[in-house]
Structure 1
Amino acid sequence: MPEFFSFISEILWGSLMVYLLAAAGIWFAFRSRFVPFRFIRDFAQSLKNGRLAEPGSLSAYQALCLSLATRLGTGNLAGVAFALTTGGPGAIFWMWVSAIIGMFISFAECSLAQLYKERDANQQLRGGPAWYMERGLGMRWMGVLFALFLLLSYGLFFNAIQSSSMAHAIRYAWNVPELVTGLALAAAALLYMLKGLKTITRMLQWVVPAMALMWILASFGVSLWHATLLPAVFENIFKSAFGWQEAATGTMAWTLSQAITSGFQRSVFANESGMGSSPNAAAAAASWPPHPVSQGIVQMIGVVTDTFLVCTGSALILLLANAAPDTLAISGTQLLQEAMEALVGSWGDGFVAVIVTLFAFTSVVANYTYAENNLIFLRRNSARNIALLRTAVIVMILLGSLFHLPVIWHIGDVIMALMAMTNLTAILLLSPVVSLLARDYLRQRKLGVVPVFDPKRYPEIKRQLAPGCWDEIPRAPR
């Protein structure tokens, strides 16, 4: 079974997904007229003025923390180790490249999610890829397909990956049985699942920035402590990225392919650009200025935080310690723990275990909110079905704590590819709308006014929008 999923993953990621992601990112860079980069300074203002949420919505800050909670999972730790193991140091360079491309994809998908959002029966803002597939493309069947992929990934397998990494990290640090760790994570997650979206986001807005800052400061601090080794580390990354070290042995092409594939895989799993997950958070936000592009810019910053700070910190720790598994049985989390322990001493493995625990817990809780959101799209959000979803999440957490990690990674890679292909197809079909939104934002910024999206200017789009979401322009925050 592991060999089967590994084979399917290699087919999907060997060339198809890499080319698709690269093409989509470059396409949206030009279609958006580079608006995300030209007005990246608007990020701080949008985040500041969007802090106070309207009734039935999240603030821009809360939406960013919710999306970061799923992005900042164990994929930023164990996943980076997995990328280095399979693709070598060069995978880190291609992870960076994928992130730059992914920023434009994230901008496009999150702007679309904001545009096509709607209110549910409780007047809570909802939206995401399934909604813009139905409203923007008129293809509810595609939205249903995407929602099912998301339920499988974020409701089941990705939660198993988080609990597996956490259980292995705690077992290595403190010799706590994996099942005990799984039970503790399941209980904590269930407590917040029962409390709902508002309580979850209030918790995440404090925990997510704190845990991210902890790892960034620790990993870059340790790296600077070993600053004399950093030039050799970066030289190794760049040489391996293009296969220069292997050119003399005739393995250059194979090594380059492995580096690119591993880098793109782990980058997408970590920052989730193109997968269609973060749009679920972006749609729930009432951001300022009241324009879909403002939330696209805010969510784009999540890619920067995730890949260029958190993932890079993990990579530096592993490369500085020259970490390499002695056996395939060693998990990515254990490899990172051994590396940290080698660099800072005995407290290193415990510190990594704490970080993994925080990353896993926040990811599981945020994953559940995405899964429930898509259950609402499927119109299957009865009390019975919500209870079944929560039960499935708990079961997968428990089973994940006992699974062998490579199996879960391969299954996750396959579902991730299917999910991304569906979402990328949709946003490419909707690229004229992305271009229109970017032009509208650019026009108003050049006029020196606060960008406000007025659907009356675009009758064709207005007919696709949910009633009430863009009819009234909210007042500027004081």
Structure 2
Amino acid sequence: LLGFATSFIESTLAQVYKHRHEDGVFRGGPAFYIERCLGWRWLGSLFAVFLIIAYGLAFNAAQSNTIAQGMNGAFGVPNWMSGVVIAVLAGFVIYGGLKSVARTAEKIVPVMAIAYLLVALWILFANLSAVPDMLSLIVMSAFGLGPAVGGAAGYAIKAAMENGIKRGLFSNEAGMGSTPNAAAQATVKHPAAQGLVQSFGVFVDTIVICSCTAVVILLSGVYERLLSESPGESIEGIQLTQDAMVDHLGGFGEIFIAIAILFFAFTSILANFSFSSVNIEYLFRRHAKKAVGVFKIIILAMVLLGSVAELSVVWDFADLAMGLMATTNLFAILLMAPIAVSVLKDYERQRRQGIEEPLFDPVILKNPELVDEDVWPVKEEKPVDR
């Protein structure tokens, strides 16, 4: 619920204070609305630096590591080899050589997401009798009463909350300030419309897709064998999900997960580059093209390094970067939340009047002069008589 709220606020603010770039595409995000609304370029610049560290460096290393682990588990491909291939493919796309690769990935990823959901549902219904015990295990473990806990109940609750919040934040990015960079590029008639779409994305990411993974793992025999045979050890990363899929579907499950993760993580690398580029442009402005050119080399280097790095090191780096980003952005949107609320009220008022697609007029804001005039041209629209 907190993620729904923070995602709505930051994405709505990104829409309100976006500007049209010289290439005709909108630009916006926390760095932009912090400077424009609060007048603190120094804080906007600080956020931009944190985002570049998180997305350009840490998250790309994490995504590359996930792909490499998946390819190694399914096909025995060495991690370094996967890293080289990912870097080459990403290089073609970000340098504009093979834009068709990005377009193809955009078409394939929704298909893979639906396929993943259908596979998880099949596993759920195939093991329906075990679902009550699975739900009980989740609840008991969350409060330090699960079989993996022993007597350290207090520590188990702390670990469950700590890892749950960090991984939940990684899955939906609500409040971190990353998705507003993408939300600002959308062409909509009212900022609240985009904010509501982004809030729904939080639900899909965390409640639907992540719960699918939980179902796959906990309804398999992998978890119980892990507790009984190696209580002091753990399977890390994508390997756990692959082993669970193999338990349910045999060899096909391992291959399916590896391919799904390849497309999910690869397109995430491209998105990470896009987010970072917007903030590099914000920081360097006049020298943006040169700065983005240097960054392309750095981002490909992180893809290579991430594929062979220790998973714990990658995640520690990512967690630190996430914390810095989220702290800066949440502080800013806490101050600007009333603006997003007033925009939402305007949207709801127009919907109650029967307007199917409400139009945004900056005049409802306390300081409408802070909004670019060419971004929100207002046209009269009569209410629909229902």
- TM-score normalised by L of structure 2: 0.90
2:273 to 350, 354, 368: 368
1:239-250 alignment, distance < 5 Å: 239-245=140-146
What CA distance in whole angstroms lies between the structure 2 residues aligned with 1:363 and 1:181?
A: 16
SS of the aligned residue for 2:308 comes to coil
1:413 to 285, 309, 319: 319
What CA distance in whole angstroms lies between the structure 2 residues aligned with 1:283 and 1:196?
A: 26
Structure 1 counterpart of 2:339:
433
What CA distance in whole angstroms lies between the structure 1 residues aligned with 2:364 and 2:138?
A: 49
One-letter amino acid of the counterpart of residue 183, structure 2:
A
SS of the aligned residue for 2:367 comes to helix
1:271 touches 1:306 (CA, 8 Å); kept in 2?
yes
What is the deviation of 1:225? Answer: 1.4
Structure 1 counterpart of 2:192:
293
What is the deviation of 1:435? Answer: 1.6
Structure 1 residue 355 corresponds to structure 2 residue 260? yes
Structure 1 residue 456 corresponds to structure 2 residue 363? yes
2:216 to 311, 317, 323: 317
1:206 to 97, 103, 107: 107
Structure 1 residue 280 corresponds to structure 2 residue 187? no
Structure 1 residue 137 corresponds to structure 2 residue 38? yes
Q: Give 5+ residue unaligned stretches, structure 2.
A: none
What is the deviation of 1:307? Answer: 0.9
What is the deviation of 1:401? Answer: 0.7
What CA distance in whole angstroms lies between the structure 1 residues aligned with 2:14 and 2:210?
A: 26
What CA distance in whole angstroms lies between the structure 2 residues aligned with 1:130 and 1:348?
A: 42
1:172-321 alignment, distance < 5 Å: 172-195=73-96, 202-203=103-104, 205-245=106-146, 251-287=152-188, 290-321=189-220
Structure 1 residue 338 corresponds to structure 2 residue 237? no
1:58-97 alignment, distance < 5 Å: none
Structure 2 counterpart of 1:42:
none
1:111 touches 1:295 (CA, 8 Å); kept in 2?
yes
Q: CA RMSD in A?
A: 2.4
What is the deviation of 1:240? Answer: 2.1
Structure 2 counterpart of 1:390:
296
What CA distance in whole angstroms lies between the structure 2 residues aligned with 1:317 and 1:442?
A: 39
Structure 2 counterpart of 1:126:
27
What CA distance in whole angstroms lies between the structure 2 residues aligned with 1:367 and 1:259?
A: 28
CA 1:304–1:297 in 2, change beyond 3 Å: closer, same or farther? same
What is the deviation of 1:252? Answer: 3.0
CA 1:409–1:378 in 2, change beyond 3 Å: closer, same or farther? same
What is the deviation of 1:337? Answer: 1.0
2:3 to 90, 102, 108: 102
One-letter amino acid of the counterpart of residue 379, structure 1:
F
What CA distance in whole angstroms lies between the structure 2 residues aligned with 1:201 and 1:462?
A: 37
* Percent identity (aligned): 38
1:114 to 15, 19, 23: 15
What CA distance in whole angstroms lies between the structure 2 residues aligned with 1:135 and 1:272?
A: 23
One-letter amino acid of the counterpart of residue 401, structure 1:
S
- Cα deviation code 1:223-246 (max 9, x no counterpart): 221222111101111222233458
What CA distance in whole angstroms lies between the structure 2 residues aligned with 1:431 and 1:196?
A: 41
Count of aligned pairs: 373
What CA distance in whole angstroms lies between the structure 2 residues aligned with 1:194 and 1:462?
A: 38
**Bigger mean CA offset, 236-245 vs 292-301:** 236-245
CA 1:116–1:473 in 2, change beyond 3 Å: closer, same or farther? farther
One-letter amino acid of the counterpart of residue 199, structure 2:
M
2:93 touches 2:102 (CA, 8 Å); kept in 1?
no
One-letter amino acid of the counterpart of residue 310, structure 2:
H
One-letter amino acid of the counterpart of residue 317, structure 2:
I
1:128 touches 1:280 (CA, 8 Å); kept in 2?
yes
**Bigger mean CA offset, 391-400 vs 371-380:** 371-380
Q: Give 5+ residue unaligned stretches, structure 1.
A: 1-99
What CA distance in whole angstroms lies between the structure 2 residues aligned with 1:109 and 1:426?
A: 9
Structure 1 residue 424 corresponds to structure 2 residue 330? yes
- Cα deviation code 1:427-467 (max 9, x no counterpart): 00001101211221122222222421111243x33111124
CA 1:271–1:457 in 2, change beyond 3 Å: closer, same or farther? closer
What CA distance in whole angstroms lies between the structure 1 residues aligned with 2:101 and 2:184?
A: 16
1:271 touches 1:303 (CA, 8 Å); kept in 2?
yes
What CA distance in whole angstroms lies between the structure 2 residues aligned with 1:219 and 1:340?
A: 9
SS of the aligned residue for 1:410 comes to helix
2:12 touches 2:195 (CA, 8 Å); kept in 1?
yes
SS of the aligned residue for 1:463 comes to helix
What CA distance in whole angstroms lies between the structure 2 residues aligned with 1:131 and 1:114?
A: 10
SS of the aligned residue for 1:378 comes to helix
CA 1:318–1:245 in 2, change beyond 3 Å: closer, same or farther? closer
- TM-score normalised by L of structure 1: 0.74
What is the deviation of 1:263? Answer: 1.2
Structure 2 counterpart of 1:5:
none
What CA distance in whole angstroms lies between the structure 2 residues aligned with 1:177 and 1:199?
A: 27
2:30 touches 2:181 (CA, 8 Å); kept in 1?
yes
What is the deviation of 1:328? Answer: 5.2
One-letter amino acid of the counterpart of residue 366, structure 1:
A
What is the deviation of 1:139? Answer: 0.9
1:152 to 53, 58, 71: 53
